[in-house]
Chains A and B, each alone.
Chain A
């Protein structure tokens, strides 16, 4: 068996597995898309009609009466705001923990420990404080609150990536007279682009999907899509068509984002390579 044939077989194997996995994920999503174009009756009909007249009613109601567009805007502002603030801060922090061992293991774990409590315990006191200083129903308020649980995870995530970098280059740079700042910015960061990218995505997702804090700390002006989607469960039944439509719309920005970053994550593009 030649080397090339081996490779082909394992490639086929790879394609099969990835296709199966993708189908397992894609088929439910396709069904959600189908539901978003269906009326309630058709949505629950068994055996399911494969061909039916699609309706735009759900999307129309979603953006019209329910004003989903503004929730989408809010979620975007909050998620982007959080990411833009938290990733740089977390990168600095993660680096400090890795290279400078700041605060030792105690500080590291304290930072992570803040996340080991269920959100409910934190959200009530935060609400009282925020309400008193008029931070509720503001973008700053919710971004700050979400930062509180984004940061620890991002710090640790980036720590993991920074650990993987051999120290030689940094030491070499230091010998050449570079300050810690420039070492960080010019040498370390470019190499850890995959890490930064995945941290950004993670931060974006955590903010995008946040429910409890969004429910209690936002009001009409800052309501997010997660809260709005949850409101689809009414006393008159679940508005499954509109819920499906909202879910699909909510996925689109994320898909765009991952298409943008996959360059760095899949092709492994980094802005520098470790040489010699």
Chain B
């Protein structure tokens, strides 16, 4: 008897679950018109609105947190932050979007996901709001707006989905004291018949790293060769420095052309001869420690590392660390943007928040509190520069960088390339084999994303 009941139960469960799933997931992708309509109908009284936001635990977040009381005083809207780690954030956001009613209203979007979220309709375009309130987007560094602003980046259909928060473009951090050391300079000149100076090309940089490792008692480059994000972010600098890219403008794969192969070979050479022993397992933190303990000549890393490495309380080489844009053509750009979740019930209020937090006045206050700005006017403000003389350097690095291709499957692309790079650098494949396989899979991704 109970067997029969069990069977009925299970059948019902199947029907119910298909219903819940089908309807639940589809309705997360509602059209914007329907949403604003219901919102206008529902929001008679603003009442007790609390915006929930998912943020990372970094100074930029703290800077905003400190100013929240001002926002609540001005608008009556409360804001609640939830703090999670970067990788966990993506998981939580994706899971959150599966549901018709979301848990978050305003979110910060990393440029890796800046292609994914608009394409799936998980965040809404902001053009109408911007037009309605006359928000001036020209104050943003154009590269930032392209990266975490418009989607698609090019073409006639582009809309603004995000407003930039801050940039973490990558450049070259190096030890000035080592470059200026006369003994090292002489040895270098004798070996290579060139001067030891701030490197201008990628080849020169790799050569210097090897030299430093063999002669200066430090690692050449504190590389973050860990599989996944770390190795891809670092290697992209090598690729872009040589003028290469993942895809071209028409989404043809270029990840296995000669420039890319050369970039891989230089990277592998640096791993072997110019990096600390565990480099193939290093993420940002591991590499950063090497640099901050003074055990490396250089590090290709984010501009937000510069304040850290020049702070005597966090770095033993605070005085001698400098930063320049990536030697070669371009470095890797990265950054975050504010966006409104499509399944949020408080879209209007979310826009109020974004408008407020990115207003010139608040942006300046944040910048004075260790939050790297993305707005040109703030970057060039005298007060800001007085407190953070490194900002102009950062601006230089940002302007000489470009992001990885942003589309629906950027995250998967990074995972594929990361895997192949790690295999190549641990000697299990040749550069050509690895990049060819990556090229094949990247091609499939472009097709899956309906870009070709």
Q: Does A132 contact B (CB under 8 A)?
A: yes
- Known A220-B82, A235-B168: A131·B103 in contact at CB below 8 Å: yes
* Least Cβ–Cβ distance between B20 and chain A, in angstroms: 6
Query: Complex Cα distance A45/B294, Å?
Result: 10
What are 15 A-B residue pairs whose CB atoms fall within 8 Å in the complex? A41-B314, A44-B292, A46-B293, A66-B83, A123-B95, A124-B95, A128-B24, A128-B98, A132-B101, A230-B84, A232-B57, A233-B85, A234-B57, A234-B85, A234-B86
Nearest-neighbor residue (CB-CB) of B110 within chain A = A235
Q: Does B449 contact A (CB under 8 A)?
A: no
Nearest-neighbor residue (CB-CB) of B61 within chain A = A234
* Least Cβ–Cβ distance between B28 and chain A, in angstroms: 10
- Known A128-B20, A234-B56: A215·B91 in contact at CB below 8 Å: yes
Q: Does A178 contact B (CB under 8 A)?
A: no
Q: Contact between B99 and A131 (Cβ–Cβ < 8 Å)?
A: yes
Query: Complex Cα distance A215/B21, Å?
Result: 21
Which residues of the partner chain A approach B86 to less than 8 Å between Cβ atoms? 233-235
Nearest-neighbor residue (CB-CB) of A46 within chain B = B293
Q: Contact between A235 and B304 (Cβ–Cβ < 8 Å)?
A: yes
Query: Complex Cα distance A40/B308, Å?
Result: 11
* Least Cβ–Cβ distance between B46 and chain A, in angstroms: 22
Q: Contact between B91 and A216 (Cβ–Cβ < 8 Å)?
A: yes
**Mask for B85-114, Cβ within 8 A of A = 1, else 0?**
111100110010011110100000000000
Nearest-neighbor residue (CB-CB) of A230 within chain B = B85
Query: Complex Cα distance A125/B22, Å?
Result: 11
Q: Contact between B103 and A136 (Cβ–Cβ < 8 Å)?
A: yes
Q: Contact between B82 and A238 (Cβ–Cβ < 8 Å)?
A: no
Which residues of the partner chain A approach B69 to less than 8 Å between Cβ atoms? none
Which residues of the partner chain B approach A2 to less than 8 Å between Cβ atoms? none
* Least Cβ–Cβ distance between B67 and chain A, in angstroms: 15
**Mask for A120-149, Cβ within 8 A of B = 1, else 0?**
000111011101100011000000000000
Which residues of the partner chain B approach A136 to less than 8 Å between Cβ atoms? 103
* Least Cβ–Cβ distance between A141 and chain B, in angstroms: 12
Query: Complex Cα distance A220/B78, Å?
Result: 14
Which residues of the partner chain B approach A232 to less than 8 Å between Cβ atoms? 57, 85
Q: Contact between A231 and B85 (Cβ–Cβ < 8 Å)?
A: yes
**Residues in chain A within 8 A of chain B (CB atoms):** 39-41, 44-46, 65-66, 123-125, 127-129, 131-132, 136-137, 215-216, 219-220, 223, 227-228, 230-240
Nearest-neighbor residue (CB-CB) of B59 within chain A = A236
Query: Complex Cα distance A228/B52, Å?
Result: 17
Query: Complex Cα distance A276/B56, Å?
Result: 65
Which residues of the partner chain A approach B84 to less than 8 Å between Cβ atoms? 215, 227, 230-231
* Least Cβ–Cβ distance between A236 and chain B, in angstroms: 5
Nearest-neighbor residue (CB-CB) of B89 within chain A = A231
Question: Which residues 2-35 of B sit at the A interface, judged by CB distance below 8 A?
Answer: 17, 20-21, 24-25
Which residues of the partner chain A approach B289 to less than 8 Å between Cβ atoms? 44, 237
Query: Complex Cα distance A198/B302, Å?
Result: 48
Q: Does B433 contact A (CB under 8 A)?
A: no
Q: Contact between B20 and A129 (Cβ–Cβ < 8 Å)?
A: yes
Question: Which residues 303-320 of B sit at the A interface, judged by CB distance below 8 A?
Answer: 304-305, 308, 313-316
Q: Does B249 contact A (CB under 8 A)?
A: no
- Known A124-B98, A125-B17, A137-B103: A39·B313 in contact at CB below 8 Å: yes
Which residues of the partner chain B approach A66 to less than 8 Å between Cβ atoms? 57, 83
Query: Complex Cα distance A231/B87, Å?
Result: 9
Q: Does B442 contact A (CB under 8 A)?
A: no
Contact of B20 among A41, A132, A240 (CB under 8 A): A132
Contact of A128 among B58, B99, B302, B315 (CB under 8 A): B99
Which residues of the partner chain B approach A239 to less than 8 Å between Cβ atoms? 57
Which residues of the partner chain A approach B52 to less than 8 Å between Cβ atoms? 219-220
Contact of A216 among B57, B95, B288, B304 (CB under 8 A): B95
* Chain B CB within 10 A, most for which of A46, A216, A223, A236: A236
* Least Cβ–Cβ distance between B97 and chain A, in angstroms: 11
Contact of A236 among B95, B100, B308 (CB under 8 A): B308
Nearest-neighbor residue (CB-CB) of A233 within chain B = B85
3 smallest beta-carbon distances between A and B, as pairs: A131-B99, A238-B285, A44-B289
Query: Complex Cα distance A235/B55, Å?
Result: 12
Query: Complex Cα distance A240/B305, Å?
Result: 16
Which residues of the partner chain B approach A131 to less than 8 Å between Cβ atoms? 99, 101, 103
Query: Complex Cα distance A175/B273, Å?
Result: 81
Q: Does B333 contact A (CB under 8 A)?
A: no
Which residues of the partner chain A approach B17 to less than 8 Å between Cβ atoms? 125
Which residues of the partner chain B approach A237 to less than 8 Å between Cβ atoms? 284-285, 288-289, 308
* Least Cβ–Cβ distance between A223 and chain B, in angstroms: 8
Nearest-neighbor residue (CB-CB) of B99 within chain A = A131
Q: Does B194 contact A (CB under 8 A)?
A: no
Query: Complex Cα distance A125/B21, Å?
Result: 8
* Least Cβ–Cβ distance between A235 and chain B, in angstroms: 5
Q: Does B186 contact A (CB under 8 A)?
A: no
Nearest-neighbor residue (CB-CB) of A218 within chain B = B82
* Least Cβ–Cβ distance between A128 and chain B, in angstroms: 5
Given A40-B314, A128-B25, A231-B56, 12 further pairs, Cβ under 8 A:
A41-B293, A44-B292, A127-B98, A128-B99, A129-B20, A215-B84, A220-B80, A228-B83, A233-B86, A234-B56, A235-B58, A237-B285
Which residues of the partner chain B approach A223 to less than 8 Å between Cβ atoms? 82
Contact of A215 among B80, B92, B99, B284 (CB under 8 A): B92
Nearest-neighbor residue (CB-CB) of B315 within chain A = A41
Which residues of the partner chain A approach B92 to less than 8 Å between Cβ atoms? 215-216
Which residues of the partner chain A approach B313 to less than 8 Å between Cβ atoms? 39, 41
* Least Cβ–Cβ distance between B125 and chain A, in angstroms: 25
* Least Cβ–Cβ distance between A245 and chain B, in angstroms: 15
* Least Cβ–Cβ distance between A50 and chain B, in angstroms: 17
Which residues of the partner chain A approach B56 to less than 8 Å between Cβ atoms? 231, 234-235
Contact of A41 among B82, B91, B316 (CB under 8 A): B316
Query: Complex Cα distance A5/B285, Å?
Result: 55
Query: Complex Cα distance A66/B85, Å?
Result: 13
Query: Complex Cα distance A231/B20, Å?
Result: 32
Nearest-neighbor residue (CB-CB) of A127 within chain B = B95
Query: Complex Cα distance A237/B86, Å?
Result: 11
- Known A127-B99, A230-B84, A238-B285: A132·B24 in contact at CB below 8 Å: yes
Which residues of the partner chain A approach B95 to less than 8 Å between Cβ atoms? 123-124, 127, 216
Contact of B293 among A45, A129, A231, A234 (CB under 8 A): A45
Q: Contact between A236 and B88 (Cβ–Cβ < 8 Å)?
A: no
